[in-house]
Amino acid sequence: MKTKLSTILGGGFFVIFLFNTYVQAQPVVKEYNPTIGVSDCLETKSEQAAFIFRFDENGGLLIEHQNITCNCAGGDIVHSTLFKESILEIKLLELFGQDSTLADCRCLKNIGYRLDSIFPTTDSITIDIYCNTFEMSEHYQLRIPTKGSGRITLSLSVEPMWVLNSAQWQLSPQPTGETVQAVCTSSSTAWQKGHWYLHDLSGKRLLSGYFTDGQFEVSLSNVPHGVYIIEVQTAQGSGVCRLKCVKGL
Where is the domain boundary, 145, 163, 181? 163
* 122 lies in the same domain as 43: yes
| Residue 80 and residue 173 in one domain | no
Q: Are 20 and 95 in contact (CB under 8 A)?
A: no
Q: Which amino acid is at 195?
A: H
At a CB cut-off of 8 Å and minimum separation 6, what does 82 contact? 88, 89
Q: What is the CATH number of the domain that holds 199?
A: 2.60.40.3080
What is the count of structural domains for the chain? 2
Q: Which residues of 73-106 are buried (b: 16+ CB within 10 A; e: fewer)?
A: bebebebeeebeeeebebebbbbbeeebebeeeb
145 and 42 in a common domain:
yes
Residues 37 and 106 in one domain: yes
Rounded Cα distance, 196 and 238, in Å: 14
DSSP symbol at 14: E
Closest CA to 201 of 74, 73, 95, 91: 95
Q: Which pLDDT belongs to residue 64?
A: 95
Q: Residue 207 in contact with residue 218, Cβ under 8 Å?
A: yes
Q: Mean pLDDT, to the nearest integer, of 50-59?
A: 85
Task: Please indicate, yes or no, whether residues 171 and 214 belong to a single structural domain of this protein.
Answer: yes
Please report, for residues 89, 116, 194, the alpha-carbon distance to residue 84 in angstroms, rounded to integers and kept in the order given: 8, 14, 27
- In a 3-state reduction of DSSP, which class is residue 165? coil
Question: Does 128 lie in the same domain as 234?
Answer: no
* Among candidate residues 137, 163, 189, the one where a domain is terminated: 163
- Identify the band that residue 37 occupies on the pLDDT scale cut at 50, 70 and 90: very high
Distance CA 213, CA 234 (A): 12
Instruction: Indicate the SS3 state at residue 131.
Output: strand
Tell me: do 114 and 12 sit in the same domain: yes
Looking at residue 8, what is its pLDDT?
Answer: 30
Is residue 143 very low, low, confident or very high in pLDDT (cuts 50, 70, 90)?
confident
The range of the structural domain enclosing residue 32 comes to 2-163
Q: What is the mean pLDDT of the chain?
A: 75
Q: What amino acid is encoded at 134 in this protein?
A: F
> Are 145 and 235 in a shared domain?
no
Mean pLDDT value across residues 108-114: 93
Q: What is the DSSP string of 89-102?
A: EEEEEEE--TT---
- Rg (the chain; Cα; Å): 19
Model confidence, pTM: 0.59
Report which of residues 19 and 30 the model is more confident about.
30
Q: Do residues 27 and 116 share a domain?
A: yes
Last residue of some domain: 144, 163, 182? 163
Average pLDDT score over residue span 43-59: 80
67 and 155 belong to one structural domain? yes
Specify whether 9 is located in the same domain as 103.
yes
Q: Are residues 108 and 211 in the same domain?
A: no
